[in-house]
Amino acid sequence: MIEASAYTILNVDDDEAGRYAKSRILKRAGYNVVESATGAATLKLVLSERPQLVLLDVMLPDMNGLDVCRSIKHDPSTAHIMILQVSATHVSDADRIQGLEGGADGYLTEPMEAEELLATVKALLRLYRREEENRRLLDQLRDADRRKNEFLATLSHELRNPLYPIRAAVEIMRLKDDLDPDVQFSRDVIDQQVSHLARLIDDLLDVARITRDKIELRRGRLRLVDVLNGALASSHTVIEAHDHYPTVALPAESVWIDGDAVRLTQIFVNLLSNAAKYTPKGGNIWLSAYAENDKAIVSVKDDGIGISSDQLPLVFEMFYQADGSLERAQAGLGIGLTLTRRLVELHGGTIEARSEGPGKGSEFLVTLPAFIQRELSQPAEPPGRKREESKANWRILVVDDGLNTREMYSMLLRRQGHEVDTAADGKSGIEKIESFRPDAILLDVGMPGLNGFDTCERIRAQPSGKNVALIAVTGWAQEEVQQRAQAAGFDEVLVKPVGPQEILQSVGSILERKQAQ
Ligand code: ADP
């Protein structure tokens, strides 16, 4: 129980006798009392004396009591002060209501009994204490939340640093082709797990940025189809690890978006990976997009485990996971959809989750502002892209030891009108050159047997390989790799993950360079 002397009450009344009577009652009950006879003096005293309660007469000589009440309640530094309005009997119910709506916390009519005044004051001070406690708890919560966000930011930075040298070590091991099979296997395990860790840490970093509003978009004019193809390429490992083959339906006309290529791709990679993770093997995933007026609508749909109606509104909440058990098969932090929604919103769009319930699949619908180009003339684009569009049928050889990567590149590049052949290692890649006569060869650097550098050197040594565009694809953008690639005869080095558009732009500019020579 808090003593009455801990409270200060500001008693406002221009009538001296009335003011005196009320002050006396309050002082006798142990309260500190400060007095005021005008509106202007009241507003000053509220700031200097910081009372917990103002006993406010409605009729003041200089100001209307209702206006004094509004001023106190509008100022965030005084809004928490309780206001008990007091008026004479002739005041109507309408005035009483007006007073309460103006922000007063209670209302009394004069003349009043001492008990009535004290009981009302006590009740309002109880309310004041409770609100004070709530404010304190809210401050503590905000503080804890801020410290958690700072911790997440520091943690993700600190965790990221040791990953670079591990990655570099794996990449160095990739360059050796005489590794013992057990060591090779161990290297691949480290590689996979480090990539997984890196993705989790990148998400954590993004969460820290989002909570501090530190994500900035690097906007440019992008074709929706390129963004979606890029997302398919980047998520194919997850999709195929779950044995899914997405059905894709993209718009025929050119739908353009003003956005950040990396962040837009991230949105759809998250949604496609979730669809794969939450759909049992053998299920279906659909990616479709269409344009409507000035909007692009993209749907990522699956017939997987679905989401119950009570969980549907929660899936975009930070750290939310429908199945929070530690044993759950799907690794994740429960932040993918939070990030996704924020990134969609930063692009001026909306995202919606739909599901008819558990076992009935889910659909995520993303709507983004877009513009549609139906005529032949395209919006101004960087020269690389124009070149690539003017030549629609290159012959591209993809040499990579990963079956998934070969299939994904074949699918994506063929869909853009190019002829594609593949080889699983350097030796069979070289053999295919004579029969396939490629314009460009995409060579994975870290292949077992003949690695990408050696393969490139041998191709360049052949007459048929002199003019072909040779592109190295590597997971590590070190200066050393760049130098070795140049020495081996590569025209360009692309760093994974590489989307089809990046490949085509690079092929276009290499071939143009070669023609000009
Ligand atoms: P994470 O996948 O890391 O748990 P997300 O933020 O991406 O985190 O997703 C939050 C939760 O939403 C998931 O844990 C899952 O319960 C649910 N969810 C997301 N996508 C799907 C989907 N396609 N089908 C069913 N549930 C989903």
Residue 216 C-alpha to ligand 1 middle, in angstroms?
25
Lowest mean pLDDT: which of 277-281, 373-377, 391-395?
Answer: 373-377
Q: What pLDDT, on a 0 to 100 scale, did the predictor assign at position 385?
A: 39
- Residue 333: CB within 6 Å of ligand 1? yes
Name the pLDDT band for 1 (thresholds 50, 70, 90): low
pLDDT tier, 512 (very low <50, low <70, confident <90, very high otherwise):
confident
* Any ligand 1 atom below 6 A from CB of 340: no
Using the predicted structure, report yes or no on whether residue 327 has a pLDDT greater than 60.
no
Residue with the nearest Cα to atom 14 of ligand 1? 321
Q: What is the pLDDT of residue 359?
A: 93
Query: Exposed/middle/buried for 145, CB within 10 Å: 0-12, 13-18, 19+?
Result: exposed
Ligand 1 pocket residue status of 316, Cβ below 6 Å: no
Convert the pLDDT of each residue in 18-69 to its tens digit.
Answer: 999 999 999 999 999 999 999 999 999 999 999 999 999 988 899 888 899 9
The pair of structure tokens assigned to 427 is 């030796």
Ligand 1 centroid–CA 322 distance in Å is 7
Tell me the CA–centroid distance for residue 159 and ligand 1, in Å: 24
Check pLDDT > 90 for residue 312: yes
- Going by alpha carbons, the residue nearest to atom 3 of ligand 1 is 332
Is pLDDT of 500 > 70? yes
Q: Is the pLDDT of residue 380 over 80?
A: no
Q: What is the mean pLDDT of residues 491-511?
A: 81
Strand partners, 422: 398
Q: Of the residues 317, 337, 351, which should be mutated to test ligand 1's pocket, given the most ligand atoms within 8 Å of the CB? A: 337
Query: In 254-411, where do the E strands start and end?
Result: 254-259, 285-292, 295-302, 350-354, 362-369, 371-373, 395-399
- Ligand 1 centre from 330 Cα, in Å? 9
Residues found in the chain: 517
- Checking if the pLDDT of 391 tops 60, the result is no
> Rg of the chain's alpha carbons, rounded to an integer?
35
Vertex 240: Cα angle to 237 and 245 (nearest 5) = 130
Any atom of ligand 1 within 6 Å of the Cβ of 251? no
CA of 279 relative to ligand 1 center, distance in Å: 11
> Taking each helix axis from N to C terminus, what angle separates 181-211 and 336-346, rounded to the nearest 10 degrees?
50
**Has this prediction a pTM greater than 0.75?**
no
Could you tell me the distance, in angstroms and rounded to a whole number, from the CA of residue 504 to the centre of ligand 1? Answer: 33
DSSP state of 380: P
Place of tokens 């309460």: 100
Closest CA to 259 of 387, 379, 376, 349: 349
- What is the pLDDT averaged over residues 92-121? 85
- Average pLDDT of the chain is 86
Ligand 1 contact, 334 CB (< 6 A): yes
Question: Which tens digits make up the pLDDT trace of 220-263?
Answer: 889 899 899 889 888 887 888 888 888 888 887 789 999 998 89
Q: What is the tens place of the pLDDT at every residue in 126-167?
A: 999 999 999 999 999 999 988 888 888 888 878 877 887 888
Q: Which of 274, 308, 317, 333 for a ligand 1 pocket mutation test, highest count of atoms within 8 Å of Cβ?
A: 274
Q: How far is the CA of 321 from the centre of ligand 1 (A)?
A: 6
Q: What percent of the chain has pLDDT over 70?
A: 91
In short, whether 361's Cβ falls inside 6 Å of ligand 1 is no
Q: What is the number of the ligand 1 atom nearest to the C-alpha of 302?
A: 23
Most confident of 245-254, 277-286, 442-451: 277-286
Kindly give, in sequence order, each residue whose CB lies less than 8 Å from that of residue 513, ignoring residues fewer than 6 positions away. Answer: 491
The helix/strand/coil state of 82 is strand
Residue 473, both tokens: 């694809």
The Å distance, Cα 245 to ligand 1 centre, comes to 19
Query: Does the pLDDT value for residue 356 go beyond 50?
Result: yes
pLDDT band of residue 89 (cuts 50, 70, 90) is: low
CA gap 482, 487 in Å, rounded = 9
Nearest-atom number in ligand 1 for the CA of 315 is: 12
Read off the pLDDT of each residue in 307-316 and give the average, rounded to a whole number.
Answer: 92
pLDDT level of residue 382 (50, 70, 90 thresholds): very low
Q: Which range among 228-237, 327-336, 370-379, 416-425 has the greatest average pLDDT?
A: 416-425
Instruction: Give the pLDDT score at 346.
Output: 94
* Confidence tier at 325 by pLDDT (50, 70, 90): low
Q: Which of 200, 278, 300 to mutate to test the pocket of ligand 1 (most atoms within 8 A of CB)?
A: 278
- 277 band by pLDDT with thresholds 50, 70 and 90: very high
Using a 6 Å cutoff on CB, does residue 302 contact ligand 1? yes
